[in-house]
Amino acid sequence: MEKEVLKRVIVDNQKEVERYEVIARETADFDAYGCHVLVGARRVGKSYILYQRMQQLLKAGTGWDKMLYVNMEDERLADFKAEDFNRLLEAHGEMYGGRPMLFIDEIQNIEHWEKFARRMADTGYKVMITGSNSKMLSGEIASTLGGRYIAHEIYPYSLKEYLDANGVESDERALLGTETRAAIVRHASAYLHGGGLPAAARMSAKRDYLNSVYQKMYIGDIMQRNGLTNSMGMRVLVRKMAESVCRPISYNRLTNIMSSVGGKMSTATTIKYVEHCEDAWLLIRLRNIVAHLAEKESNCKYYFVDNGILNLFMTDSDSMLLENVVALWLFRKYGHDSEKVFFYNDGSNEVDFYLPEEETAIQVSMTLRDEETRRREIGALEKIGRRMPCRRRIVVTGEETEEREVVGKDGNGIEIVVYWRFIMG
């Protein structure tokens, strides 16, 4: 690419960073390590974190001679190739000289980007890159990067970040005040139903925006990136996955459903479609901790990366949205593809979430007012304690209850906590 084009892109990107109003997010200590990879779905705020970091450095006195930012989704970079990274560095060097910190957005758009990223780390550059493809965290890519990058999974706003974005205080003092507590509860409900995509956080009417993000950034991107042509099949699959949130679903069952409503589809095609949705971070898989190896991979639960996107498919959906928002909190805290978060189903008893390292079992229920529901949810937590180590057992509810703890039949306490308190913890 021509250096003059690259120089214009560099300057335009600088001005964009300077004028952008960034709402601070909870981030890692980026000073502690040299190179970082921020990975997550489209529109979850990865770029905001880059902007936040650059604005912090600018405020501290670091100038643009020491920083180079470029967004690989800039249409002027449509023909950018891996070899053009050197021209980009040369263009910045001709403008300022020196060795800049590198901030590169959506780097996965450039084929062989990982070789450049590895070389920059090897030669002592400080680098922050973002990408929207979960394969950036695969063993192959991790091996290519040689352990020189710290990976960070980025999700939509947490409830605390959402409240901050809307100017709502959420400390313990605010929880004691009648008006401030009511504001927290009201915005928590909006978060539960509308999700936490940063651009939508302060919108009063989010649905049109969320639908546009889903259609263009998820379905459109999945189809284009993977060379797919059956967009109707993909849309039907996503809708069926939304209807199955909270329940394990096998590839065979999903294939049968797809074949009955969207035309004949093979199990292999179904598996590929699901994997494409995972690669785009639209769907996040949860495995059964007591399943055999084959079933662990083929009979999983799937959650959506944002409650607002999930709610596009829902009608009477509060119980599903509640479990999805708890799942997102757990994935945000422990990672989505780790050995730290599972569900439990031994064929006779199911518990929504189990954290083996924490020895914690979590059940999610919209209400405990109904005696049958209460008995079922409490009973599931009593039973899992006979099979798995359980230092803590928790029921997360959709409404507040005067009870903070109940005593199970085994004599051990089971905590009861309303969801907005749980996901702010």
What mean pLDDT value characterizes the chain? Answer: 91
User: Which are the contacts of 189, defined by CB distance < 8 A and separation ≥ 6?
Assistant: none
For residue range 266-315, what is the model confidence (pLDDT) as tens digits?
999 999 999 999 988 999 999 999 998 778 888 999 999 999 999 999 88
Question: What is the pLDDT at residue 262?
Answer: 60
Per-residue pLDDT for 95 more than 70? yes
Highest mean pLDDT among 131-145, 196-210, 395-409: 196-210
Question: Exposed/middle/buried for 21, CB within 10 Å: 0-12, 13-18, 19+?
Answer: exposed
Positive or negative torsion for Cα 266, 271, 277, 279:
negative
For residue range 27-86, what is the model confidence (pLDDT) as tens digits?
877 877 789 989 888 889 999 999 999 999 999 999 999 999 999 999 999 999 999 999
Q: How far apart are CA 87 and CA 70, in angstroms?
A: 13
Q: How far apart are CA 164 and CA 174, in angstroms?
A: 13
Tokens of residue 162, six digits: 């959402």
Measured at the CA of 411, the angle between CA 408 and CA 417, to 5 degrees, comes to 45
Question: Exposed/middle/buried for 340, CB within 10 Å: 0-12, 13-18, 19+?
Answer: middle
pTM recorded for the entire structure: 0.92
Q: Please, how many CA atoms are within 13 Å of residue 312, restricted to the half-sphere of its CB?
A: 21
What is the DSSP-derived secondary structure letter of residue 217? I
Domains for the chain: give ranges and CATH numbers: 3-153 (3.40.50.300), 159-198 (no CATH), 318-425 (3.40.960)
Widest distance between CA atoms in the chain:
74
Question: What is the pLDDT at residue 133?
Answer: 72
Question: What is the pLDDT at residue 205?
Answer: 86
Q: What's the residue count for the chain? A: 425
Per-residue pLDDT for 162 more than 90? yes
Question: What is the pLDDT at residue 140?
Answer: 60
Residue in the structure block whose two tokens are 């394990």: 248
Question: What is the pLDDT at residue 141?
Answer: 66
Torsion, Cα 339 137 283 212, to 10 degrees, reads: 150
Measured at the CA of 335, the angle between CA 53 and CA 213, to 5 degrees, comes to 65
Q: How far apart are CA 349 and CA 383, in angstroms?
A: 7
Per-residue pLDDT for 139 more than 70? no
Question: What percent of the chain stands above pLDDT 90?
Answer: 70
Residue in the structure block whose two tokens are 């459903």: 257
Q: Where are the beta strands (DSSP E) in 7-121?
A: 35-39, 67-71, 101-105
Q: How confident is the model at residue 155 (pLDDT cuts 50, 70, 90)?
A: very high
Question: Exposed/middle/buried for 180, CB within 10 Å: 0-12, 13-18, 19+?
Answer: middle
Contacts 24+ apart (CB under 8 A), 10-18: 10/68, 10/69, 10/70, 10/88, 10/91, 10/92, 10/95, 13/69, 13/70, 13/71, 13/74, 14/64, 14/69, 17/51, 17/54, 17/55, 17/58, 17/69, 18/55, 18/58
Of 198, 295, 289, 307, give the one whose Cα is nearest residue 251: 295
Question: What percent of the chain stands above pLDDT 70?
Answer: 96
Positive or negative torsion for Cα 310, 153, 164, 73:
negative
For residue range 220-276, what is the model confidence (pLDDT) as tens digits?
889 988 999 888 889 989 999 999 999 999 999 899 888 877 667 899 999 999 999
Per-residue pLDDT for 348 more than 70? yes
Phi, psi of 150 (to 5 degrees): -90, 125
Helix (H, G, I), strand (E, B) or coil at 392: strand
Average pLDDT over residues 156-174: 94
Strands 405-407 and 299-304: unpaired
Residue in the structure block whose two tokens are 């990274």: 85
Compare 199 and 425 and report the one with higher pLDDT: 199
DSSP string, 109-154: GSTTHHHHHHHHHHTT--EEEEES-GGGGSHHHHHHHTT-SEEEE-
Question: Exposed/middle/buried for 94, CB within 10 Å: 0-12, 13-18, 19+?
Answer: exposed
For residue range 369-411, what is the model confidence (pLDDT) as tens digits?
999 999 999 999 999 999 999 999 999 999 988 878 887 666 6
Q: How far apart are CA 172 and CA 257, in angstroms?
A: 48
Q: How far apart are CA 95 and CA 89, in angstroms?
A: 10
Helix (H, G, I), strand (E, B) or coil at 365: strand
Tokens of residue 113, six digits: 């980007």
Neighbour-count burial for 198-214, b at 16+ CB within 10 Å, e otherwise: bebbeeeebeebbeebb
Question: What is the pLDDT at residue 25?
Answer: 86
